Chains A and B, each alone.
Chain A
Amino acid sequence: MANHLRFLGRTVMVQNGNVEAAYGALNRILSQDGLVEVVRRRRYYEKPCRRRQRLAYEACRRVYNAEMGRKIAFLARGSRQDPWLGC
């Protein structure tokens, strides 16, 4: 960040002197953009074999969570018209 304008990126303005809310907003943006995890991961070196294992694990986890979310959303649907109407 040394070659860019100093207060352009990763900046949150404080409104009405509410520093806590501004800090919370900054933290939320950073964690949503994945910067916090990147910083924590780069603290120690991650060997290439560990990195491959982690990426595979994260991919599987993403697929599993998506499918489980779909299943739960399917099972939790409500307010549809009665399919057995008239029987």
Chain B
Amino acid sequence: MSAVAWQRLLGAAWGGRAAALCRGLRTGPPRLQDSAEAAEKQSATDLSTHIQVVSFDNRPFARTSCGTEGFQNAKKGTAIAAQTAAMAAAVKARGKGVLHVRVMVKGLGPGRKAAIKGLTMGGLEVISITDNTPIPHNGCRPRKARRM
């Protein structure tokens, strides 16, 4: 990218001399203000909550879920399980140097709010909360209604 800009500047007649002055022309990927900015994705279903802490260019930092915290079956689908999973993920991410986090929540479930609270209790600072619940524009047909 910088090579192309450089050649174009050198090709111009009167800009040839001035081109030598502006050397820092390349535009790399936009640098974020925070030193360690990470995104944290939660998937909060009725059965369990999964939490994944990821950097801005999708390099993983930590991944926990209610199952990895030792809860089984029905106990995974509770708010307390989500909170402990979030605290564990926050501690792990903190160990790798993550401070600020943007939360993306997916799904409506018992662990939706509790997981965000667990993150703040685990020491990560939440900057923004996004809701990324998948809403199909009439895509796949869901399962049939219960209690027919």
> Does chain B have a CB within 8 A of A57?
no
Pairwise interchain contact A1-B108, C-beta atoms closer than 8 A? no
Judge if B145 is at the interface, Cβ distance under 8 Å.
yes
Complex Cα spacing A68 to B142, Å: 37
Asked if B142 and A44 make an inter-chain contact with CB atoms under 8 angstroms apart, the answer reads: yes
A17 vs B135: C-alpha distance in the bound complex, in angstroms? Answer: 29
User: When chains A and B are docked, how far (Å) is the Cα of A50 from the Cα of B145?
Assistant: 11
- Which residues of chain B are near A6, meaning CB under 8 Å? 39, 104, 130
Contacts of B131 in A (CB 8 A): 10-11, 26, 30, 35
One digit per residue, 1 when the CB lies within 8 angstroms of any chain A CB and 0 when it does not, for chain B 36-77 equals: 000100000000000000000000000000000000000000
Chain A-chain B contacts (Cβ-Cβ < 8 Å), number: 70
Cα distance A30–B127 when bound, in Å?
19
Nearest neighbor of A47 in chain B, beta-carbon distance: B145
Who on chain B is nearest to A1 by CB? B132
Contact A7 B143 (CB under 8 A): no
Task: Kindly report which residue of chain A lies nearest to residue B136, judged by CB atoms.
Answer: A42
- Residues of chain A within 8 A (CB-CB) of B133 are 35, 39
Report if A46 contacts B (CB, 8 A).
yes
Taking residues whose C-beta sits less than 8 angstroms from the other chain, chain B's interface range is: 20 to 34
By the criterion CB–CB under 8 Å, are A17 and B125 in contact? yes
Residue interface bits B96-114, CB-to-A below 8 A is 1, else 0: 0000001010001000010
Contact A39 B108 (CB under 8 A): yes
Kindly list chain B residues whose C-beta atoms are within 8 Å of the C-beta of A36.
108
A residues neighboring B (CB under 8 Å): 1, 6-7, 9-14, 17, 19-20, 22-23, 26, 30, 35-36, 38-40, 42-47, 50
For the complex with contacts A39-B133, A39-B135, 12 further pairs of A-B residues with Cβ separation under 8 Å are: A11-B128, A12-B129, A14-B126, A14-B128, A23-B116, A26-B129, A36-B108, A39-B108, A43-B142, A44-B145, A45-B144, A45-B145
The chain B residues found within 8 Å of chain A, CB to CB, are: 39, 102, 104, 108, 113, 116-117, 120, 125-136, 141-146
For the complex of A and B, the 9 pairs showing the least CB-CB separation, nearest first, are A10-B131, A11-B130, A44-B145, A13-B128, A45-B142, A19-B126, A12-B129, A14-B126, A11-B128
